[in-house]
């Protein structure tokens, strides 16, 4: 919070530092202040602690299985042993294909909303639709993917259907963050460009987009982690329990094939496979969590770096 330069008497943080003698009222006020502060601190801490405990516990339980071979091996012996290679590659496939669809459309939608659309009911309707798209339950997206891509468009149960479903589901992330980035470019930049005779699109290309690239990148990275973690939308559109893939094979899937995915693999190991080695689902969870958290940590680092060299 921004504190004004001169701290008024009675609002100081140290009880002894007040200018006036402490009355009972002041003491009570300062006591309730301290109490409130610690209670709110406790509530904030209650959020941090579970994250640390969770990661530590999962890591501890996963230790026996974690190794390079775990990443590179396919699941073995009816999925009770082995590694996660096909699922890892499948997740990468889904993320890459999904993003290559949702990022261009999302960025263009944001450009439209911020640069072209006027403030009117239509603009509001689009904003509302974006909010709603973000709020639709993931299982409804799965039903949509099944009805639209698998059956109506006849893509069948495939990587393509699953990636399209994920793309539509995660598009609001890219739209929202790109829009914020575009809005943060000062209006004077655009006016200067218009004044030298550039058209609207030339201005966007030469001035607006380069100046908001960091915000867009934020959205893209956030979307990577979202896409990698989703399970429900791919469960019925293209992800399968098991697919035989060679160890370390980089291109095991075709667009029309079904694929494995890390999130689905974790669900299957945890609930559907009897007699699975105890540390195996934990190790899978750690790999999935590792992918998502690393991507997010990279995002936070990137944002700090870009903010430090912002030019205006």
Partner 1 sequence: MDPQPSVSPAPPRRPARPAWATCGETALEWLIRLSGVSAILFVLAIFFFVFREAAPVLLSKNFRLAEFLFSPAWYPTSVSHVRYGILALVVGTACVSGLAVLLAVPFSLGAAIFVSEFCGRRLKEVLKAVIELLAAIPSVVWGFVGLTVTSKLVQQLTGAPVGVNILNGGVILALMVVPIITSISEDALKAVPDTYREAALALGATRWQIVHRVLLPAAKNGLLAAALLGVGRAVGETMAVLMTTGHAVQIPHSILDSVRTMTANIAAELGEAPEHSEHYRVLFLTGVLLFLITFVVNLTADLVVRGIRKK
Site for partner 1 in 189-228 (CB under 8 A): 191, 194-195, 197-203, 222, 225-226, 228
Q: Which is nearer to partner 1, 64 or 147 (CB)?
A: 147
The number of angstroms, rounded, from the C-alpha of 281 to the middle of its chain's C-alpha atoms is 23
Site for partner 1 in 88-127 (CB under 8 A): 104-106, 108-109, 111-113, 116-117, 125-126
Question: Which among 128, 132, 130, 131 is positioned nearest to 140, based on CA atoms?
Answer: 132
Helix, strand or coil for residue 259?
strand
Phi and psi at 17, nearest 5°, equal -90, 5
Single out the residue of 94, 266, 273, 280 in contact with partner 1 (rule: CB under 8 A): 266
Binding marks (x or -) toward partner 1, 140..169, rule CB under 8 A?
A: xxxxx-xxx--xx---------------x-
Calculated CA dihedral for residues 261, 235, 159, 175, nearest 10 degrees: -90
Angle at 67 between CA 54 and CA 224, to 5 degrees: 60
CB of 290 to partner 1, least distance (A): 11
CB of 312 to partner 1, least distance (A): 21
Single out the residue of 10, 71, 277, 306 in contact with partner 1 (rule: CB under 8 A): 10
| Residue 138 half-sphere exposure toward CB, CA atoms < 13 A | 15
Q: Which is nearer to partner 1, 54 or 254 (CB)?
A: 54
CB of 263 to partner 1, least distance (A): 5
Query: Among the residues of the chain, which ranges form H helices?
Result: 24-62, 68-72, 85-111, 121-135, 138-145, 159-183, 187-195, 200-203, 209-211, 213-229, 232-235, 262-271, 279-308
CB of 264 to partner 1, least distance (A): 8
Site for partner 1 in 271-290 (CB under 8 A): 271, 281-282, 285, 288-289
Q: Which is nearer to partner 1, 86 or 233 (CB)?
A: 233
Cβ burial of 145 (10 Å; 0-12, 13-18, 19+) is buried
Site for partner 1 in 66-95 (CB under 8 A): none
Q: Which is nearer to partner 1, 2 or 251 (CB)?
A: 2
CB of 94 to partner 1, least distance (A): 13
Q: Which is nearer to partner 1, 253 or 267 (CB)?
A: 267
The number of angstroms, rounded, from the C-alpha of 297 to the middle of its chain's C-alpha atoms is 11
Single out the residue of 27, 37, 77, 247 in contact with partner 1 (rule: CB under 8 A): 37
Asked if 169 and 233 touch (Cβ cutoff 8 Å), the reply is yes
Q: Which is nearer to partner 1, 57 or 247 (CB)?
A: 57
CA 138 to CA 246: how far, in whole Å? 31
Single out the residue of 92, 133, 217, 306 in contact with partner 1 (rule: CB under 8 A): 133
CA 138 to CA 237: how far, in whole Å? 12
Site for partner 1 in 228-247 (CB under 8 A): 228-232, 235-236
306 touches partner 1 (CB under 8 A) = no
């Amino acid at each position: 919070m921004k504190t004004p330069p001169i701290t008024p008497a009675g609002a100081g943080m140290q009880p002894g530092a007040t200018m006036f003698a402490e009355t009972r009222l002041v003491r009570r006020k300062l006591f309730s202040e301290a109490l409130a502060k610690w209670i709110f601190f406790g509530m904030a801490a209650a959020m941090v602690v579970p994250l640390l405990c969770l990661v530590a516990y999962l890591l501890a339980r996963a230790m026996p299985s974690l190794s390079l071979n775990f990443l590179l091996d396919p699941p073995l012996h009816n999925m009770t042993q082995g590694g996660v290679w096909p699922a890892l590659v499948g997740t990468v496939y889904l993320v890459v294909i999904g993003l290559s669809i949702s990022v261009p459309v999302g960025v263009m939608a944001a450009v439209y909303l911020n640069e072209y659309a006027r403030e009117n009911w239509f603009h509001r309707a689009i904003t509302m639709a974006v909010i709603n798209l973000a709020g639709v339950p993931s299982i409804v997206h799965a039903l949509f993917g099944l009805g639209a891509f698998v059956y109506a468009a006849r893509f069948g149960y495939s990587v393509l259907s699953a990636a399209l479903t994920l793309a539509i589901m995660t598009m609001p992330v890219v739209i929202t963050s790109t829009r914020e980035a575009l809005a943060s470019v000062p209006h004077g930049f655009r006016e200067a460009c218009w004044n030298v005779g550039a058209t609207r699109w030339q201005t966007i290309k030469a001035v607006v987009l380069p100046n908001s690239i960091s915000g867009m990148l934020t959205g893209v990275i956030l979307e990577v982690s979202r896409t990698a973690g989703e399970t429900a939308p791919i469960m019925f559109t293209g992800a399968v329990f098991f697919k035989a893939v060679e160890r370390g094979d980089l291109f095991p899937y075709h667009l029309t094939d079904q694929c494995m995915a890390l999130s689905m693999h974790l669900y299957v190991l945890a609930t559907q496979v009897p007699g699975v080695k105890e540390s195996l689902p934990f190790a899978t969870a750690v790999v999935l969590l590792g992918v998502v958290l690393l991507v997010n940590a990279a995002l936070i680092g990137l944002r700090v770096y870009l903010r430090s060299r912002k030019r205006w």
